[in-house]
Structure 1
Amino acid sequence: MENRIQETSTIKKLTAAEWVNKLIQFTQSVGGACAVWKLPNDNTINLLADLKGGDQLSELELDELSEGFLMAPFDVSEAHYLHFKPDLQATINMPEFADSNDTIEIEWNAENEVNVEKFRSFIKQQKTSVKLKPLTSNVSSTTKEAYVNNVEKGVEAIKAEQFYKVVPSKIKVIESQKTPNIGQAYLNTANKYPNAFVSLTVSPDSGIWLGATPEILIEDVHNGHFKTVALAGTQRKTERPIAETAWTQKEIEEQAYVSRYIINCFKKIRLREYEEIGPKTIEAGHLLHLKTTYKVDKQAVNFPELASVMLKLLHPTSAVCGMPKDAALQFINETEAHERSYFSGFLGPIHKAGKTNLFVNLRCCQFFEGAVAFYAGAGITEDSNPEKEWEETEMKCDVLASVIL
C-alpha cells in the first residue's frame, strides 16, 4: 500500500478547485507540467506533477516507460508524445454530493515529501494566477461551409471506394473576456460526467487541455487482462429509457466499422482468443453511443506485451480517423486546414499500481487568453448527411462548453 501524507492545519483547507489551481500555478512557476484526472465511475481525483516539464518523445515504447501520465497527439509527425513523471502525487477523495465550495482533505504520496514541502511553501508565500497562452493564428473556428464541404468530399471518396469511413474534425473557438477558473471548470466537468474519463493537462509544450471522454483506448492490467472498446454512433439523450434507444442504419454501420477495425488488429497479430461484449447503448453526458468491449486474458494467451503491440496498431482508431486507416488519414491531412494537436490523440495514467488506462481524447478543449477552443469530429459513411454531421459536431462542442463557460 502506498504511504500517504494527509494535509494538516499548516495550510488552510482548500476547495477541490483551489487545489487544482494551486497545482497548476506551482508547476507553471517552475516550468513544470501536471495532470489531473478521474477514472470513469470513480470519485477519486488524482493529481500528478512533473517539475521538469515532462519528456517529449518522438517514438513510443509503452513497456519501457516508467509510471506516470502519458499524452499522445493525433498525428505524431505534428506533435510529440508527452510523458509526465510523478515528482509530486496526491489524491482527493470527493464525496458524492460534495458542494463545490466545500473544503477538501488532500493526501500526498509520502515518497514525494521534499516536493510536497516545496508546494506547501509556494501556497503560503505566493499569490499567482494560472498563465494562459495567447490564441495562435493556426487555431481558429472552422466555418460551416468548410466543414460541410469536407463531408461532401468524404462521401464522394467513399462512393469511389477510396475508404469506407472517415472522420472530419473541426474547431469551435468561443471568445470570452472573463478569466476562466480552470480548477472550477475541471470540477464542474467531473461532476457533470461521472461515467467519463475527465482530465486536465498542463505543460509548456501543449498548453492547457480539459476533456471528458467516454472512449477507452486500452486498459491493461499487469499479469491480468487487456481491454479495448469500439465506440461510435451519436445521438442526443431523451426521456426515453436507454434500452429503448433506436439507431439508424448509418450509425449501426459506423459502429460496425470500428469493431471490425479492432478485430482486424487482432488478426494481424494472430490473436483469436478474446471476449466480445456488445454492442450496447451507453450514456456519456447528454449523448448516447454504441459500445462494444473486447477483453483478452493475457496469461491465457501468453502475450504479456499485448498492450504495447495493440497501442501501435489501434492509434489513430477508426472512431477518430477512418477505415482503412492510411487512406482515411491521407484524406484528413489533405482536407483539414487545422492541426488536431492532442485532440483525438490519447491520454491517461500508465503503470500506476500495475495498471494502465488510456483513453481517446474526445470532447476536449484548449484554453487560451480570452478564448477556449473546442474540438469535435463526426464519423462519415456513404449515407451521411452533411448538414446533420455539422449539427452533430455542434452538439458535441456545446455539451462541453455548457459546463465550463
Structure 2
Amino acid sequence: MTPVADQMLAEFPAVSDTSKLVNEFGVHNAKSAVSDVRGIGGIYLDVDTYIQGEEFISLMQRITGIDDLQYDPWYYGAGTHENFHGAGLEAHYDFNIHPHTAYHRRLNAIIYLNKDWQPEWAGDISFHTDPWDLKNDQKKTVIPEFNRCVIFETTESSWHSVGRVSLPPEERHRSRKSFTIYLYTKSRPAEETAPEHGTVYVPPPLPSHIRAGHVLTEADMEEVNRNLEQRHDYLKQMYKREYRFSSVIEDLKRQIGDWKRASRLPLAGAATILSVREPIYPDGWMGERTSFQLRIDRPAATLVFRFWQLDAIDYSTAITGTVNGVRATVAAGPAFTEMEIPGPFAPGEMLDVVLEVDRTRRGSESDMRQISVQLSAVEFR
C-alpha cells in the first residue's frame, strides 16, 4: 500500500504548455519544477509539514550520519520535478551554498512518482565516478520506480545524470515525475568545503556505440549533432557567465581601490596614518585581517583598540593584534571589547599593526561581505 505516494501522484501539479519550459540558461528543456510546495496544497501540505518535523530530520540523520540537518522552506531548486519526452540532465554535481541562508547543501532525497514506468523509457538516475574522464568513468544506474527514494550526499564529487526520457509516440502523455528534498547544515567539515558555486555540468561525450569501424546511421548523426549543439550551448553560456563575472571583478577592483584611497581609521591621539595595506570597510567593519602603519607624534604609554560586535551574535570572536612583533589576544563578545598593547611609544617611532580574527560571517542576506567585528577606535593613552 502506498497511499501517500498515490495521493502525491494524483495531485501532482499539471503543466499546460511544455513548449515554454526552459533551463537555467534560457534554452528550451522539457522539464518543469515547482518549488512552492505548500502552494500546491492537498497532500503536499501534509508532506511538507512532515519533512520539516523532528521525526523525518532524525531519520535522515540516522541514515546518513550527518548531524544538524536543516529543512529548506524555500525548496530552492527542489520540490516537484517533471521530465517530459526528450528531457534529461547531463552529468553534474549540484550547487553547494543556499542563496538565502548561506547554509551548506548536504543531501538530496528524490522520491519517484512514476507508475508502470518501463526501463527502456530512460529517465533513470546514474551516479558517475568522474564524467570528465571519458575513458575510465564508471556509473551506477537506478531506475525511477514508483515510490522509490534515492538519497545521496551533495559534494564536489557527487556526479550524477538523468537519462533523456524517450517515450514511444503512444506514451507521450506520460512524464517522469519526482518529488525532491534538499537538506542543509549550517557548516560542514573544512576538507569538504569549497567556494560557493552553481551547478557544474559536463557536456555529453560521443555515444558509447560510436567507435572505430562503426557505420554511422541517420539516428547516430542526429545524436552526435545534438550532443555537439549541447556542448556549444554550454560553452557559449559559460563564456557569457565569464564575461559577467569579469565585469563584476573589475567593479570590485575599482571599489577596493577607492576604499584603499579613502581608507580611514578611527584613530584618536598622538599618531599619523602612513599607509593602510588591508583596510576596514567604509562603515568600520573588519574582514578577516586589517593591517596599517602609524608614526608616533607624541609620547604614549599604551595603544588601545576598541571593537564592537552585534548584540545578536551568540559566540565570541578571538582577535589577535600584533604591533612590531608584540602580540595580544582578546575574545570579543557582544557589544564593546578593548585590546591593549603596552608601550611606551616614542615620537617618530613607526608601528606596523596587524589585526586578525578567527571567524567571519556573511553581513546579511543582502550583504555578501564576510565581516567579523567593527573597529570603532584606535587610541593612544
TM-score normalized with structure 2 length:
0.22
Tell which structure's C-alpha radius of gyration is larger: 2
Q: Which has the higher contact order (CA 8 A, sep 6+)?
A: 1
- Give the structure with the larger helix fraction: 1
TM-score, reference length from structure 1: 0.21
